[in-house]
Amino acid sequence: MVGAENLSRKEQVIRTASELFKQKGYSATSMRDLAQALGIEAASLYSHIKSKEEILQALCFEMAKRFQRSLREVEGADISYSERLRRGITGHIHVMAKELTASAVFMNEHRHLSQPYLRDFLLMRINYINRFKKIIEGGIKAGEFKAVDTKLAVMTLFSSLNWMPHWYDPSGIIDPSELGNQLAGMLIEGLKTK
Amino acid sequence: MVGAENLSRKEQVIRTASELFKQKGYSATSMRDLAQALGIEAASLYSHIKSKEEILQALCFEMAKRFQRSLREVEGADISYSERLRRGITGHIHVMAKELTASAVFMNEHRHLSQPYLRDFLLMRINYINRFKKIIEGGIKAGEFKAVDTKLAVMTLFSSLNWMPHWYDPSGIIDPSELGNQLAGMLIEGLKTK
DNA sequence: CCTACCGATCGGTAGG
DNA sequence: CCTACCGATCGGTAGG
């Protein structure tokens, strides 16, 4: 099956690229670096991908889709805003934990997308953030949350989620659900003892 | 005064570089980009700086020093852990707000430092984070904070501080002190109404 | 997947 | 601060 072989090899290229992009950044990673990591010549990469940027596009949009899908499942549910926030956070962390490297690239390297991809990406991201913001605003209107600055609240949450690929070790003692519960707990209940 | 003129021109180069590094990233910013932004030829940059990386070094270590100094002022104070955390956060935000662009570069581009600068930088960063962590641990031991996962707590705080240069508008309605108080309040008291 | 190669651009230097 | 340039490396193509 030629098709399946090509697909799997292409994915192998994308995964290896993802690791290099995370480590060194997109711009500082050359196609020769990538080829060397795969044990082939740089020119051979172009049998599997059209361009360097195509790899970044594949990574960024695949992750964006996964994060969007995860959040959508929570929005319809008939539950409290605290619970909705908790599930949104846990869902995000699950997606992230399954693709830690791609998540880091998604977060830090998307600015190297060219137009119109960059614009599309940023629209998806602002949409994602706004949906979390709506949950927080809903909680405030319902009297469940304090009247905090919603931009600060959502940015604090989003920052925390974004930075996790840099320090979270999924093989450690704390699993994604537990991490999500603890983050949600901390943001909702605060650090202070009652 | 030749000395003063050189210094001021060098700082102008560093500031312009800082803006480009923030926008496009260190690797994707060429010396020709920088020269063009300053209205001179690329070769002329080397009258003011020794190398591209020297600019990054100057930026990163200057900001690191400022953040360290800001935190040091809080650690000696004889105040509650909540208050210590609050002042640590507010201090960080003040430093950041005064040099928003350099703060963004400090955060996102330090990985392009070569050795031994990279190692020194990372040691300073881990030291900075650990000092915030100590405040949180102190608060837990004193019964002032809940027994949360301190790594998650400090990373959430640190992420939030790091991401601020990307969204905070210091010319907006919320000033640095107010932003610090709100972030500290949110982390300490939580979103939930009591 | 390789050899052979392209034009463009990179950070930086010499010498004024 | 400029002109003139350097060797190295970049992403990518032709042709097998």
Residues 6+ apart with CB under 8 A from B135: B75, B81, B84, B85, B88
Single pTM value for the model: 0.94
A contacts of B164 (beta carbons < 8 Å) = 155, 159
Q: In Å, how far is A150's CA from the nearest CA of chain B?
A: 10
Chain A: residue whose CA lies nearest to B156: A160
Task: State whether residue A183 sits within 8 Å of chain B by CB.
Answer: yes
B contacts of A104 (beta carbons < 8 Å) = none
In this predicted structure, what is the pLDDT of residue A6? 59
Task: State whether residue B177 sits within 8 Å of chain A by CB.
Answer: no
- Please report the DSSP string for A77-132 in residue order: S-S-HHHHHHHHHHHHHHHHHHTHHHHHHHHHTGGGPPTTHHHHHHHHHHHHHHHH
Mean pLDDT of B55-80: 96
Residues 6+ apart with CB under 8 A from B133: B150, B151, B153, B154
Q: How far, in Å, is the CA of A97 from the C1' of nucleotide D13? A: 39
Q: Is 80 exceeded by the pLDDT of residue B5?
A: no
B162–A192 C-beta distance less than 8 A: no
Task: State whether residue A138 sits within 8 Å of chain B by CB.
Answer: no
Bases on strand C under 7 Å from any protein CB: 1-5, 9-16
How high is the mean pLDDT in each 10-residue block of chain A (194 residues)?
65 98 98 98 98 98 98 93 97 98 98 98 98 97 96 98 95 94 96 82
Q: How large a percentage of chain B has pLDDT more than 70?
A: 96
